Structures are given as C-alpha cells and as structure tokens.
Structure 1
Amino acid sequence: MSRRRHQPEPGDLIKIKRSVYQHWALYLGDGYVVHLTSADEGIRCLSASSDTTLSKKAKVKKQLLKEVVGNNDWEVNNKYDRSRTPLPVKEIIKRAESYIDREMSYDVLCENCEHFVTMLRYGKSVSDQARIGFGSILSFGAVVCAGIAVACAAFVSPRDKSREKK
C-alpha cells in the first residue's frame, strides 16, 4: 500500500517515488491526476532508465492517482512554492485539462514529467531532478576526462636527459 504525507488538494504536485527516479503528476481532484506518460499504451511511465534514448514521444493522461502510483510511495510536494508563485487553482486545472490526450515530446533533461507539471502549476517549467541528473552526468564526464588525461600522461615518457647533453 502506498503512503502519503497528506491528502492532496487540486493543483498540488504529486511526487511518486520509483526505484531509480521520481515520477511527477498534478492532482486534479476527485482522486484524479494528470501526468506525462509514455505514448505507448503498454508502458505506465517514462524514465531515463527505461530506454537507451533520452528523447521520445509522450502523452498527457488523466488517470486515478491510485493507478499511477501502484505500490510506490508518494507525497504532495509543492517544493517550488518557496521560490515561485502558483497560478490560481482554477487556471492550473483548466490548463491541465487542456493537455489531456495530447501527444508531446519527452526529453529526460528538458521536457520531462516534472517540467510538465511545474509548467501547469507555475506557468514555467522547472525540474530539479533533471538539473541534478545533468550535473551528475557532467561531473562524471569531468572525472572520466581527468582520468584519461592522467593515464595518457603516464604513458608519455619524459625525454632522456642523457640525449639532451649530446
């Protein structure tokens, strides 16, 4: 059974804790959420780990929260309210409902499910998950490059000093 911090209100962001990432939805009311999910009807949600590509097609769906959550833990998480002002609830819901059944692009770094629901709630998309994930990729890349440079330097032998004297 899934757990939650408190009962969601219309317009709330819902963070669903998956094994490797978090899936995000927006609560509409009456037990329903809207979320960005795979355009393939057989796949419940998108993640960077579910495919080797970072870009794909997605579809906006209205579903019962309990169906989207499954056995995963979830919570209301309006964390961006500290730095952004939410739109009026009626506007959030109207915007969300206007996207239902639309096909959209999906990119794990700049057009993911968190970007989508924050765009609905605040009028501007944001994703800490993508920013932190992208930062990790860059950090890992820097470490790999530094390691390659050190390895290359180890194979380059210093000039033979005895030859320089001749």
Structure 2
Amino acid sequence: MAPTLFEKEPKPGDLIEIFRGLYQHWAVYVGHYEVIHLIPPSEQGGLDGLFSLIHDQAQVMCQRLCDVVGSDRFQVNNELDERYSPREPGLIIRAARRLVGQRRPYCFVSKNCEHFVTELRYGRPESRQVVRAATDIAIGGVALVGAVTLGALLFKALLKDDNKDNHRRGHNRRWQ
C-alpha cells in the first residue's frame, strides 16, 4: 500500500512546497507518490551541504515524496496559476523525467529548485522566495539606514543641547 501523505493525492504536474525552516524546497509531483526535484548539496546533507551557497551544480532526482519531505511540513502550491497558464500535465511530466539524472547549473538566487519546477510547470523560471528575501533585505537596509540616521540626528541634538547648557552655565558664572 502506498504511503498517504495527503488527504487527497496531488495531481501530476502540481508543485510541492516543502518547508525547511529558513527556506522552502520545491518539487514537481509526477504521480504514484513520486516527485522530481533539483537537489542542491544543501538538501543532500553532509559536508557538501555547508558549501551549497558556492556550489554551481545540482542533481535532478526522482524520489518518493515521503523521502523528500521527511518530517517537514509541505503543501501543493500552484499559486502562480493565477498569473501564468500551466503547461499540460503530460508535457510537465515528460520534460521532468527527461532531466532525471542530469547535473544542472545551480545558484540559490537565479537557478534554484523553485526556478526549476516553475520552469517545468509554466515554461518560465521564477522564485518568489528569492524575491521575498530580496525585498526583506531591502526593507531591512532602509530601516537600518533610517535607524542610523535617526540615531545620528538624536546624538547631534543631544550634543547641541549639552553645548547650550555648558555655554549657559559658563555665561552665568561670569556674571556672578
């Protein structure tokens, strides 16, 4: 009997989002409780995983969904269907199966596992988690610059007030 990970089995061609903590890993469902995904060294574990940000290669693998997910939370996520028309499931599956076993270029910013599966489903690579991370970094940078600027202005105002107080005290002493 096949393992049941879903209340309802996903359809072939569906994108599976797996929550790994700080990031999401992505796979395309090909049926019979199997997925195809681009697996960078960080997903394989071991010492290579520590250097996955600098690796430029990843492996396309077909594995059982339960083996890929492990104990992590996951969901079917075809949200980009609202923006792009998905390709026919048969085309998605054939294209994905042709890639199994290949080593592919990998870059966590421009050629990651989410880019891989969205290109299979929609014919265009896209990674919303990269866009979100870039936005978060930009917002954090703006907030940091704002905080530093505010801190500098407050410090300047305190120095100015302190100088005025010192000047007044010195001025008052001369009259006494």
TM-score using structure 2 length = 0.75
What corresponds to 2:174 in structure 1? none
What corresponds to 2:17 in structure 1? 15
Partner of 2:91, secondary structure, is helix
> Do structure 1's residue 28 and structure 2's residue 7 form an aligned pair?
no
Give 1:154 shift: 5.0
Give 1:105 shift: 2.7
Structure number with higher helix proportion = 2
Output aligned runs, 1:127-166, within 5 Å. 127-153=127-153
Give ranges in structure 2 of 5+ residues lacking alignment.
168-176
Structure 1 residues 25-83: Cα deviation after superposition (integer angstroms, max 9, x where no partner): 00111221111112478429x9xxx6577442321111111100111222221111111
- Separation of aligned partners in 1, 2:16 and 2:4: 13
Output aligned runs, 1:12-161, within 5 Å. 12-39=14-41, 42-43=44-45, 51=50, 54-56=53-55, 57-153=57-153
Partner of 1:85, secondary structure, is coil
Give 1:141 shift: 1.4
Distance 1:6 1:129, change over 3 A: farther
| Relative contact order, higher structure (CA 8 A, sep 6+) | 1
Which of the two has higher C-alpha Rg?
A: 2
Contact 2:41 2:52 survives alignment (8 Å): no
Taking only aligned residues, the RMSD between alpha carbons, in angstroms, comes to: 3.0
Give the letter aligned to residue 27 of structure 2: A
Partner of 1:136, secondary structure, is helix
Contact 2:116 2:125 survives alignment (8 Å): yes
Give the letter aligned to residue 96 of structure 1: A
Give the letter aligned to residue 81 of structure 2: D
Worse-superposed segment, 134-143 or 55-64: 55-64
Partner of 2:71, secondary structure, is coil
- Separation of aligned partners in 2, 1:137 and 1:5: 37
Give the letter aligned to residue 84 of structure 1: Y
Among all aligned residue pairs of Structure 1 and Structure 2, give the percentage whose two residues are the same amino acid: 34
- Separation of aligned partners in 2, 1:90 and 1:114: 20
TM-score using structure 1 length = 0.79
